[in-house]
Amino acid sequence: METFDLIVIGGGPAGYLGAERAGKAGLKTLVIEKREFGGVCLNEGCVPSKTFLNSAKVADYANHAANYGVKVSGKATVDQKFVVERKNGVVKMLVSGVKAGLKKNKVTIKNAEAFIEGKSAEGFTVKAGEETFTAKRLLIATGSMPVVPPIPGLKENLAAGVVLTNREILDLTEIPKELVVIGGGVIGLEMASYFSSVGSKVTVVEMLDKIAGPTEKELSSILQKRLAAKGVVFNLGCKVTGIEKDGVIFERNGKSEKVSADKILLSIGRRAVTQGFGLENIGVNLERGAIVTDDEMKTNVANVYAAGDVNGKVMLAHTAYREAEVAVNNMTGKKDRMRYNVIPSVIYTNPEVASVGETEESAKAKGLSVKTVSIPLTYSGRYIAENTELDGICKLVVNEKTNTLIGAHIIGSYAGEFIVSVSAMIDLEVDIENIKKLVFPHPTVCEIVREAVWQI
């Protein structure tokens, strides 16, 4: 039985990056993945959805080319089969890159289902298919899966292929005529944005009275207006009560309504994967279905770490990357901890939404004394030069006591690309007066941060 310093269970962003970092740090590492390396992010989440959204962006530009003095004859349409094939090519390239990265760092990889059998003097015993291995440490990175609530008709219609999750929708080679999206969160909105651009009639049914969950209120309302202008119908404050093969039944103010659909996307959140691979054999603590970890990514069991969606903290691939690094650093004797207050989040709709840190509301709820500044993106020359719909804004939240930034909320082009500049300012606690001295390239949209800082 081969013994490792570390066995990583799961080959998604937390698992593959953790394994790579561990290999680089000199740990003899094994990573076990039962499906494809790259996990949900590379195969059926972040990356594939971005290939879809880019095709929609190209089509949107082509259909509004006249706004920029460009003549296009006829309407631009999307070849969905081609989009899916291109997506598969992009995924293949990235997955092979992940495997190459693992090999480069001398990580052993197994494409099999892992099962933790228990702990002995030699360490943890893990089966991978027919083989058994031991390791001194474990990194659990089994990810998450879509929440499937007990709504009448849901299970049957999932099995029949009428209801899709993020996995199946990214393999659709035909554009649905009528798509109903259950849940107006990140997945729902990105897919609503894509399918409305490529010709589906899209209806979103959302339980809350706003879209985009914790996104700052004004940003979420700008996004809603823009998507509505593309034809997306929003039913907010509506609870889904039933699914039929041709539509979704929901309740609005106590009254039942039905919206017809040929495809239905279920995107009401994800839950940690903690069952079926022997976690109970080593006594790892769970809370609300997710593994409990501290800010060093340690579980209650010595030498067992958990990173990524499985700990249910912040279900984002970039959080998973950093958590995996923190876990490996702590395993190898380098003190490190997660700082969850500086994790940016991006919604890749058109327009793009990017946020980091506190909103004015959340800061006040924590008893902080804050100043907020909000300016339109039209302060940026490049933004005006490149856009015809000029509704973007940038909001910064400042801690009055420390005179440092604690939050930023931006909607508009490139927001997802430059939000990290604000994350760094928050993380490094840069004084506002010092931010004013930073030189931003001109003309760029990221200059908006400098402009906003000067308005404080």
Residues that bind ligand NAI (CB under 6 A): 149, 182-188, 190, 205-208, 213, 239-240, 267-270, 315-316, 345-348
The b/e string for 172-183 (b: 16+ C-beta within 10 A; e otherwise) is: beebbebbbbbb
Other Cβ atoms within 10 Å of 395 Cβ, number:
20
Shortest distance, position 267 Cβ to ligand NAI, whole Å: 4
Cα separation, 20 vs 109, in Å, equals: 11
Q: Supply 146's token pair.
A: 């879509």
Shortest distance, position 391 Cβ to ligand NAI, whole Å: 20
Beta carbons of 51 and 57 less than 8 angstroms apart: no
Q: Tell me, what amino acid is at 299?
A: T
Going from the C-alpha of 191 to that of each of 84, 206, 264, the distances in angstroms are: 14, 14, 11
Whose CB is nearest to ligand NAI? 185
User: Which of residues 202 and 315 has its CB atom nearest to ligand NAI in the complex?
Assistant: 315
- The DSSP 8-state label assigned to residue 55 in this structure reads H
User: Which of residues 227 and 316 has its CB atom nearest to ligand NAI in the complex?
Assistant: 316
Shortest distance, position 342 Cβ to ligand NAI, whole Å: 15
Shortest distance, position 348 Cβ to ligand NAI, whole Å: 5
Shortest distance, position 214 Cβ to ligand NAI, whole Å: 9
Mode of pairing for the β-strands spanning 353-357 and 370-376: unpaired
Spatial CA neighbour of 6 closest among 18, 14, 317, 34: 18
Report angle CA 362, 366, 369 to the nearest 5 degrees: 90
Show Cβ contacts of residue 214 under 8 Å, excluding neighbours closer than 6 positions.
none
Cα separation, 272 vs 274, in Å, equals: 6
Going from the C-alpha of 86 to that of each of 41, 42, 56, the distances in angstroms are: 17, 14, 13
User: Which of residues 183 and 278 has its CB atom nearest to ligand NAI in the complex?
Assistant: 183
Beta carbons of 427 and 364 less than 8 angstroms apart: no
Shortest distance, position 163 Cβ to ligand NAI, whole Å: 13
Q: Supply 315's token pair.
A: 């279900």
User: Which of residues 274 and 345 has its CB atom nearest to ligand NAI in the complex?
Assistant: 345
Q: 442 an active-site residue?
A: yes
Shortest distance, position 446 Cβ to ligand NAI, whole Å: 19
Query: Residue 118's beta-bridge partner residues?
Result: 125
Helix axes 447-454, 415-427, angle to 10 degrees: 50
User: Which of residues 138 and 187 has its CB atom nearest to ligand NAI in the complex?
Assistant: 187
Show Cβ contacts of residue 73 under 8 Å, excluding neighbours closer than 6 positions.
none
3-state class (DSSP) for residue 122: coil
Mode of pairing for the β-strands spanning 393-399 and 290-291: unpaired
Shortest distance, position 331 Cβ to ligand NAI, whole Å: 26
Shortest distance, position 45 Cβ to ligand NAI, whole Å: 6
Q: Tell me, what amino acid is at 107?
A: V
**Cβ-count burial of 164 within 10 angstroms (0-12 exposed, 13-18 middle, 19+ buried)?**
buried
Cα separation, 215 vs 42, in Å, equals: 24
Largest CA distance in the chain: 73
Centroid of chain to Cα 359: 19
Other Cβ atoms within 10 Å of 112 Cβ, number:
14
Residues marked as catalytic: 442
